[in-house]
Amino acid sequence: MVAVLAGSLPTAAKAEDVFLIASYHQTDACGQPQYKAAMDALKQGGFANLSSKGYFLDTRVSPKEAVLRTVEQVKKDIRTARPKLVFTIDDAAFAMLYEEVLKQPGTQMVFTGLNRKLGFYNDKSRFLNNRTPVANITGVFESLFMREQFAMLEAILKRPIRKVAVLHSTDAVGLILKDQILDELKGTQYENHIVLFAAEDIPTMIRHARSINEDRQIDAYIPVTMSVPDPADNKRKTMDLLAPMLTGAIRKIDLSLNSSFTEYGFFGGVSIDFYQMGFQTGFLATKLLKGGAIKDIPIEDAKRSIIAVNRKRMRELGIHLSPEARSIVDKWID
Does residue 220 sit in the same domain as residue 244? Answer: yes
- Burial of 157 from C-beta contacts in 10 A (0-12 / 13-18 / 19+): middle
> Smallest Cα–Cα separation from 258: which of 25, 30, 35, 33?
30
Does residue 34 sit in the same domain as residue 179? Answer: no
The answer as to whether 316 is a domain residue is no
CATH (domain of 63):
3.40.50.2300
Does residue 224 sit in the same domain as residue 282? Answer: no
The answer as to whether 319 is a domain residue is no
Does residue 100 sit in the same domain as residue 62? Answer: yes
β-pairing verdict for 18-22 and 85-89: parallel
Does residue 198 sit in the same domain as residue 116? Answer: no
The answer as to whether 324 is a domain residue is no
Centroid of chain to Cα 254: 18
Does residue 170 sit in the same domain as residue 237? Answer: yes
On average, the pLDDT of the chain sits at: 92
pLDDT of residue 5: 34
The answer as to whether 325 is a domain residue is no
Does residue 137 sit in the same domain as residue 279? Answer: yes
Does residue 132 sit in the same domain as residue 246? Answer: no
Rounded CA gap, 156 and 147, in Å?
A: 14
Q: Which of 7-11, 124-128, 245-249 has the lowest mean pLDDT?
A: 7-11
Give the residue-averaged pLDDT of 176-191: 96
Does residue 45 sit in the same domain as residue 77? Answer: yes
Q: With the C-alpha atoms ordered 247, 249, 222, 141, is the resulting torsion angle positive or negative? A: negative
- 172-185 and 146-157 are packed helices; what angle lies between their axes, rounded to 10 degrees? 70
Is the pLDDT score of 7 beyond 50?
no
Does residue 152 sit in the same domain as residue 138? Answer: no
Q: Where does the pLDDT of residue 78 fall: very low under 50, low under 70, confident under 90, or very high at 90 and above?
A: very high
Give the residue-averaged pLDDT of 176-195: 96
The answer as to whether 317 is a domain residue is no
pLDDT of residue 197: 98
Q: With the C-alpha atoms ordered 24, 25, 28, 34, is the resulting torsion angle positive or negative? A: positive
CATH (domain of 197):
3.40.50
**Total residue length of the chain:** 334
Give the residue-averaged pLDDT of 141-168: 96
Rounded CA gap, 214 and 224, in Å?
A: 19
pLDDT in tens, 276-333: 999 999 999 999 999 999 999 999 999 999 999 999 999 999 999 989 889 999 999 9
Overall number of domains in the chain: 2
Structural domain of 75: 18-143+274-304
Alpha-carbon Rg for the chain in angstroms? 20
The answer as to whether 333 is a domain residue is no
| 8 A C-beta contact, residue 309 and residue 262 | yes
Q: What three-state secondary structure class fits 209?
A: helix
Does residue 139 sit in the same domain as residue 279? Answer: yes
pLDDT of residue 1: 35
- Prediction pTM value: 0.86
The answer as to whether 313 is a domain residue is no
Does residue 91 sit in the same domain as residue 172? Answer: no
pLDDT-above-70 percentage for the chain: 95
> Smallest Cα–Cα separation from 225: which of 212, 217, 216?
212
The answer as to whether 177 is a domain residue is yes
Is the pLDDT score of 9 beyond 90?
no
Q: Where does the pLDDT of residue 16 fall: very low under 50, low under 70, confident under 90, or very high at 90 and above?
A: low
pLDDT in tens, 235-252: 999 999 999 999 999 999
Give the residue-averaged pLDDT of 24-36: 90
